[in-house]
Structure 1
């Protein structure tokens, strides 16, 4: 067997060992209700150099698996249209900035007070500990459907600012450096200027290059080309940021934001998400493999004590900031627990501090172990947070996954005013229902009336499957969501072909978009109530009853005719305008 064949055999064996260990440990930990991240970490420890020594090249695996973080930020960007990102700017630059600054200062002071590190070393160790793990927190928010909740949005805003803060933190480390200055080294301020120019360039490229390219691909109708174009945007943005010395994840995030308004974003997300999940699993496997057990064994009290102190300080500060920014008590506490760990960028900053001769390699290993232990604590803290959120006075009361629901004939997604009316009518016919809503406050209100509503994003196929959609007779989407478009509807109809879909649509535009996609019933949310109020107005001004009935019937027919013409014209809102009352018919030539 030659060297190439030997290398391939080692690669295949290594893949088998890593995936097998991950499969066993994640299944075991999930069986006991513990997060998958801890399962990956323990699997990495077991097969790594400090365990059974089955895998040795953890650094290479870590570098490769960081692509998972890049893909994760891209998928998050796909869910954040520029308008929504602007809405979050106060949380990003207010809450996010406050968290990084206050946690960094507090941890720096704690290291100075309890250790013999120099001032520069304490800064280089304390500031990176303020950052949390994007790779751990975002998948937890996504899998639970909480990314779009108020708490999830604030947590994401903090994480996004932490990614941005990598630039000034690297600049601080470089400014404190004791190492000889490298010839031609780029200053931190110049890097920041290049970063602003690169972000502007990416935005312009997205608007004037990527969007037209996707339209062209749409005419060709090759699905694979959408994936290729998306990945070109991801790796192009990431490579640009890496080239100028910034976080490649930031470039991938911007690429996602550029495509957030694209009609193909759901397809891109569905195709890329499996790769993201696998590579993030490899990332945490590699972190576990790199954990120096000798350092922990020789400094057990310090490592665990420092990890507990790190978690306690961050929970306290983030909780107080959450309250200051208007969050209820339990969501603020849950956010503090969610972001209490150290992050993967801590490893990057510790390595830079080593190169800058600010800390010894032993200190880097020691605090790397602290970060890893704090990551391992997060799943247990989140279990504690979920169990504490069962009080009736909490806005997050009893947020139970639809998997716990019994099988029902109809699943109703959305329990606002519209959904409540639909569910009441069906309950009057004694139809078994499963009710789902994504707003914790809405669930809390229903719970006070003794109505069980399950928590989650009911437009996600995986959540609907857990709720028993494959056995239900119908799914009724009653939420007020103008963005519930063809991509999501197609995914749901393809996943549950025998289940009937009915949709509350925002307006005629959304109705036209969903026409012909297998939806058996659609109703514009204000259509009937507006007609009813018009009838009451005509009654109030003494219009004859028979005339009111004739106007009602004629209006419905005119609206139906106009809608048919708009559908035939591929959504042209001016098609059939002559059917409206008060519009003079065009003159015959």
Structure 2
């Protein structure tokens, strides 16, 4: 009975949380205020201090922090060496300067304006320098600015902020003065343990994780692939937790281990739904845990601290942006966009509290400051919209081909290799996707980077950049495509041209109503080439060979049209070229018959 009651209680809480989250997120999205603010307000409303519908926010946030773990994993997946190298100046320059200057300025402000110790000021100031990746990136995407120079600079700062979490975690651990840790290792030893754990996980990823995914990919079991991805994240995070380090750091390393593998796109699309749901629950739990009484007791402190946080970060980031040559409008927009506190601030405040660097009341107050600053961002962006529109009108956007790959080749077998190499020779950037792990490994030995994944999945194509591509070329072996898949692809990606390698004429017939721009039967052209070569070597003149090819193509097209119209593979049987139809065709084209003794087989 108790188990049944517990299950019922869990289901009731789930219905309440998801229902309020759905309602508030839809409302705030409709108002243009973003999903994050919707989750936060929904959490406040159902939390113990308003309606009291959900009381155990502490236990839920422990579960919802998995959203942070998965977010860091996805951040790690983005850190492929090639991408890092291309953005090295923005990440290591702009990102480093922003985190350092904002961290110093906020630490100094807290230390001078309050009675906190300098260790506490550092533990609070460092995480306040971080912005909300979960809030900013969707705003850039919805505005269509993620692939612009402005968006790339914002993303570079966010990327370095995520990287800097590792250093911040280590610093907080080194500053810890918790008596419970007295028998444990000192801070410097924790830092060494962190470095050793990082090295150990990287080695494990190289020699254990990658072979595991290669094995699972060869089996073709997508469910096992998802299980393996979640297992890898949990194992890395659990290992770090066992050592007394950050689970988020472990998840980040798991992503980095797999960032330069063919499985990156597949992993990202598999984990993304879990990340989105759990991150939403995280913000919901943050809203539930918001200490309204602490805010009510010290409303002026919270308001002034939130305004100070926004003003300091906006000024520092805007100033840096102007120094590197951005116009004042873009610099102001960038500063305001990144002026809020970030979701990792809650994680860092909890660690600082556990290390006895700050009190629970201080963690609640600064959690409220971060929450208020995040809630203000949509309003700030709305108020400055005229300035940002003026900046956007003068911003030079890159050409679509520079946004990523100009073409996606799905299937890199014997057919796809020829297609892809000809596109590359024409200076078209190509992303290669295949699900055959053995072929991916072989292609890698020849210097070809092929990503692992099911190229018929809309979410994977979107992750690979199909929306910005000029062409999608389905070079899949066998009858893997149907009208439903191509219809979904066209609906999701109306821009790119769709090219299809059809397995046989049956596939062409099945795709008669499917949206595509070009389809070719996989062996037809090579068969025609071989037939022409045979006729030449058998002594036919070129004019007769051309006439035979034209007649074959005309007959084949008419037969296909008849079969498509009838929806029957067996239709138009009389049009199949046989000895009798060949004689009729020769007569129509005035091609003389061949002597029956030339081939020894007769006619």
What's the secondary structure of 1:55's corresponding residue?
coil
Structure 2 CA distance for partners of 1:124 and 1:136, relative to 1, 3 Å:
same
Match of 1:252 in 2: 251
Quote the offset at 1:35 in angstroms.
Answer: 0.4
Shift of 1:100: 2.2
* Displacement after TM superposition at 1:7 (Å): 0.8
Residues 1:493 and 2:486 are matched in the alignment: yes
Match of 1:238 in 2: 237
Aligned residue in 1 for 2:470: 478
| 1:323 equivalenced with 2:325 (yes/no) | no
Distance 1:81 1:240 in 2: 23
Equivalent position of 2:581 in the other structure: none
Distance in 2 between residues matched to 1:143 and 1:504, nearest whole Å = 24
Other structure's SS at 2:390 match? coil
Q: For 1:197-235, what per-residue CA distance to the aligned partner results, in whole angstroms no more than 9, with x for missing partners?
A: 433444444444333333332332222122122222222
The residue matched to 1:343 in structure 2 has which SS?
Answer: coil
Equivalences for residues 58-137 of structure 1 within 5 A: 58-137=57-136
> C-alpha distance in 1, partners of 2:361/2:321?
36
Deviations 1:231-270 (A, max 9, x none): 2222233333333444433433343344345444433333
1:135 and 1:500 map into 2 onto residues whose CA distance is 25
Aligned residue for 1:222?
221
Distance 1:252 1:363, change over 3 A: closer
* Cα distance change on mapping 1:324 and 1:189 into 2, 3 Å: farther
Superposed CA offset, 1:352-375 (max 9, x none):
443444433322222221111111
Task: Find the counterpart in structure 1 of residue 375 from structure 2.
Answer: 376
Partner of 1:295: 294
Change (3 A) 1:392 1:281: closer
Query: What's the secondary structure of 2:181's corresponding residue?
Result: coil
The yes-or-no answer on 1:55 pairing with 2:48 is no
Asked if the contact 2:176/2:187 (under 8 Å) is kept, the reply is: no
Q: How does 1:382-461 map to 2 (within 5 A)?
A: 382-391=381-390, 394-396=393-395
String of CA shifts for 1:522-572, please: whole Å, max 9, x gaps.
99xxxxxxxxxxxxxxxxxxxxxxxxxxxxx9xxxxxxxxxxxxxxxxxxx
Distance 1:216 1:520 in 2: 36
Tell me if structure 2 keeps the 8 A contact 1:130–1:342: yes
Provide the residue aligned with 2:560 in structure 1. Answer: none
Partners of 1:68 and 1:486 in 2: how far apart? 35
Work out whether 1:4 is the aligned partner of 2:8: no
Structure 1 residues 153 and 235: alpha-carbon distance in aligned structure 2, compared to 1, 3 A threshold = farther
Residue equivalent to 1:41: 40
- Residues 1:270 and 2:273 aligned together: no
Structure 1 alignment gaps of length 5 or more: 400-411, 420-458, 470-474, 506-510, 524-552, 554-589
Question: Residues of 2 paired with 1:148 and 1:104: CA distance?
Answer: 27
Instruction: State the shift of 1:324 in Å.
Output: 3.2
> Does the C-alpha gap of structure 1 residues 299 and 203 become closer, same or farther in structure 2, counting only changes over 3 Å?
same
Aligned partners of 1:363 and 1:245: how far apart in 2? 23
The answer as to whether partners of 2:57 and 2:289 remain within 8 angstroms in 1 is: yes
Residues 78/349 of structure 1: CA separation in 2 closer, same or farther (3 Å cut): closer
- Pair 1:66–1:135, CA change in 2 (3 A): farther
How far apart in 1 are the matches of 2:155 and 2:55? 34
Following TM superposition, by how much is the alpha carbon of 1:376 offset from its aligned partner in structure 2, in angstroms? 0.9
CA distance in 1, matches of 2:56, 2:283: 14
- 2:179 and 2:129 mapped to 1: Cα distance? 28
Distance between the aligned counterparts of 1:303 and 1:29, measured in 2?
24
How many Å separate the matches in 2 of 1:348 and 1:502?
41
Q: Is the 8 A contact 1:81 1:260 kept in 2?
A: yes
Count of paired positions? 453
1:304-319 → structure 2 map (5 Å cutoff): 304-319=303-318
Contact 1:164/1:250, CA 8 A, preserved across alignment: no
SS of residue in 2 equivalent to 1:234: helix
Secondary structure at 1:391 match in 2: helix
In structure 2, relative to structure 1, the CA distance for the partners of 1:486 and 1:269 (3 Å cut) is farther
Equivalence for 2:572: none
Q: CA shift at 1:58, angstroms? A: 1.0
Deviation at 1:384, TM superposition (A): 3.9
CA-to-aligned-CA distance 1:466-503 (integer Å, 9 cap, x gap):
xxx9xxxxx99438x99x9989x999736246899896
Stretch of structure 1 that moved more, 16-25 or 372-381: 372-381
Task: Answer whether contact 2:236 2:253 (CA < 8 A) is retained.
Answer: yes
Change (3 A) 1:177 1:392: closer
The equivalent of 1:434 in structure 2 is: none
Matched position secondary structure for 2:339: coil
Cα–Cα, structure 1 residues 392 and 274, in superposed 2: closer, same or farther, change >3 Å? closer
> How far apart, CA to CA, are the structure 2 residues paired with 1:24 and 1:148?
31
Tell me, in whole angstroms, the C-alpha distance in 2 between the residues paired with 1:90 and 1:194.
Answer: 30
Which residue is 2:15 aligned to?
16
Deviation sequence 1:304-338 (CA, Å, 0-9, x none): 11101101100111122233344454443333223
Change over 3 Å in CA distance of 1:374–1:504 after alignment to 2: same
**Deviation of the 1:32 alpha carbon:** 1.3
Q: Which has the larger radius of gyration?
A: 2
2:234 and 2:251 in contact (8 A); partners too: yes
TM-score (norm 2): 0.65
Return the offset for 1:146.
4.8
Contact 2:45–2:51 (CA under 8 A) maintained in structure 1: yes
Structure 2, unaligned runs of 5 or more = 407-455, 504-510, 521-545, 547-603
- Pair 1:261–1:158, CA change in 2 (3 A): same
Q: CA deviation at 1:178?
A: 5.2
In the TM superposition, what whole-angstrom CA distance separates every residue of 1:372-399 from its partner, at most 9, and x where no partner exists? 1111112223334554322277454899
Indicate how the Cα distance of structure 1 residues 195 and 155 shifts in structure 2: closer, same or farther if over 3 A, else same.
farther
Provide the residue aligned with 1:570 in structure 2.
none
Q: Measure, in 1, the Cα distance between the counterparts of 2:240 and 2:141.
A: 25
Listed as ranges, the matches of 1:190-229 within 5 Å are: 190-229=189-228
User: 1:51 Cα deviation (Å)?
Assistant: 0.8
Residues 183 and 96 of structure 1: CA distance in aligned 2, closer, same or farther (over 3 Å): same
